[in-house]
Amino acid sequence: MFDPLRHLLSLHDFEAAAKKRLPKPIYAYVSGAVEDGQSERGNRQAFAEYGFRPKVLVDVSRRSTRATVLGRDYAAPVGVAPMGISALSSYRGDIVLARAAAEANVPCIMSGSSLIRLETVMQEAPGTWFQAYLPGDDAQIAALIDRVAAAGVTTLVLTVDTPVAANRENNVRAGFSTPLRPSAGLAWQGITHPRWLFGTFLRTLWRHGMPHFENNYATRGAPILSANVLRDFSDRGHLNWQHVAAIRRRWKGQMVIKGILHPDDARTARAQGMDGVIVSNHGGRQLDGSVSPLQALPAVVDAAGGMDVMLDSGVRRGTDVLKALALGARCVFVGRPFNYAATVAGQRGVAHAISLIVEEVRRNMGLLGVVDLNGVNGDCVQRVGDRREDGVEV
């Protein structure tokens, strides 16, 4: 029997396989960035700016990838980033991602722009973090936070880099919108991608009904497919740190701010009682030309004052993970490749993708000459072209 995972040897390999299965508008949504794609390209290029300085003849036979994040022990410092409408690119995508992460014992963040109720995901994979996009109204914010708490979520992630809608021209060109509008072109995309049509969309309709945006508010949102319903986007332009302070008083669990690039914001987050921050530019999907998270990381770590600092955007290899950890990250999160993996082979695909990057981390630790993640520090890397040796100009 043909195994679609047999020839998928790295996270990069999943994209081409998923592109064949997904209708053009949905692939464009997952893969795309904004405007000229400067930030998305910069996220990858930033990792090439650092080179490793391995140490040799170190006994690395008993190396371990175990990591502690927000006080919890995980099998590896790699997690699943929040990804909106993942249940449209793979059948029961949010559950698939969360289950695979739970079985691998790595962190997973469920997106607030999701099509499966967070209560259902929490039942299937307790311990999953929840990422919220704050509504624009104080009463709606309070109701959403109370609902998240009642669902059993213990780690709340607030994404704060979306005060206004991004200019995602690629979505418009590909015919993607939320909700999707029925059209001859969209129907043709379904017909010409039968594995997605029957294995994801029609299967979902048959078993669960029309998907809706379930978790942007305390109440159900718009359907994913509609000719005349508009999605209820909140105006977030007025949101500020006072709203975060109010949530911190209301929320009794751990709380993380996602979307930090400036050290001043890390200092404010610490002052507001946050447990951690995620350095992120939203995978290059918001402000084009923003600094890459890896470039921003050292200054944010310096300002964090003991908070756990995490990172996402552009991570594709175990070497990327180790470079981020060397610069002070506690762990990293990966987005698009795990979405593609779910498209290709469901939960088994995500499990395979997680195992690939975790094994890369483990292998590269051996080549770097470190036994555990405590040994991954600034001494392990240097800027490419930096003409310094042991802190002395040469």
Please identify every residue annotated as catalytic: 282
Q: Is 12 part of any known ligand binding site?
A: no
Q: Are 344 and 27 in contact (CB under 8 A)?
A: no
Q: Report whether 336 belongs to an annotated binding site.
A: yes
The answer to whether 314 is annotated as binding is yes
365 is in an annotated binding site: no
Residues 87, 267: Cα–Cα separation, whole Å: 36
What is the DSSP secondary-structure string of 42-105?
Answer: HHHHHHTTEEE----S---TT----EEETTEEESSSEEEPP-TTHHHHSTTHHHHHHHHHHHHT
**10 annotated ligand binder:** no
Contact by Cβ (8 Å): 313, 292: yes
Is residue 323 a known part of a binding site? no
131 marked ligand binding residue: yes
237 is in an annotated binding site: no
114 is in an annotated binding site: no
Q: For residue 73, what are the CA distances in angstroms to 105, 199, 221, 307, 333?
A: 9, 36, 35, 16, 16
What type of residue sits at position 326? A
Q: Give residues with Cβ within 8 angstroms of 381, minimum separation 6.
A: 50, 51, 52, 53, 323, 326, 327
Q: Is 50 annotated as a binding residue?
A: no
Q: Which residues are registered as beta bridge partners of 159? A: 258
243 backbone dihedrals φ, ψ, rounded to 5°: -65, -40
Query: Is residue 302 marked as binding?
Result: no
Calpha distance 325→330 (Å, rounded): 6
Please tell me whether 335 is known to bind a ligand: yes
Query: What one-letter code names the amino acid at 246?
Result: A
Spatial CA neighbour of 41 closest among 280, 290, 262, 323: 290
- Cβ(314)–Cβ(43) below 8 Å: yes
State the DSSP H helix or E strand holding residue 279, giving kind and residue range, or none if neither.
Answer: strand 276-279
Which tokens in the block code for residue 253?
A: 């669990």
Are the beta carbons of 76 and 66 closer than 8 angstroms? yes
| H or E element in which residue 262 lies | none
259 is in an annotated binding site: no
- The answer to whether the annotation marks 280 as part of a ligand binding site is yes
Q: Where are the alpha helices (DSSP H) in the chain?
A: 13-21, 24-31, 38-47, 86-89, 93-104, 118-124, 138-150, 169-174, 184-191, 194-196, 202-208, 241-250, 263-271, 293-304, 318-326, 336-368
Beta-carbon count within 10 A of 302 CB: 13
Q: Is 168 annotated among the ligand-binding residues? A: yes
Known binding residue 147? Answer is: no
Task: Establish whether 113 is an annotated binding residue.
Answer: no
258 is in an annotated binding site: yes
- Which residue numbers belong to the known binding site for FMN? 82-84, 111, 131, 159, 258, 280, 312-316, 335-336
- Which residue numbers belong to the known binding site? 29, 82-84, 111, 131, 133, 159, 168, 258, 280, 282, 285, 312-316, 335-336
- Which residue numbers belong to the known binding site for glyoxylate? 29, 133, 168, 282, 285
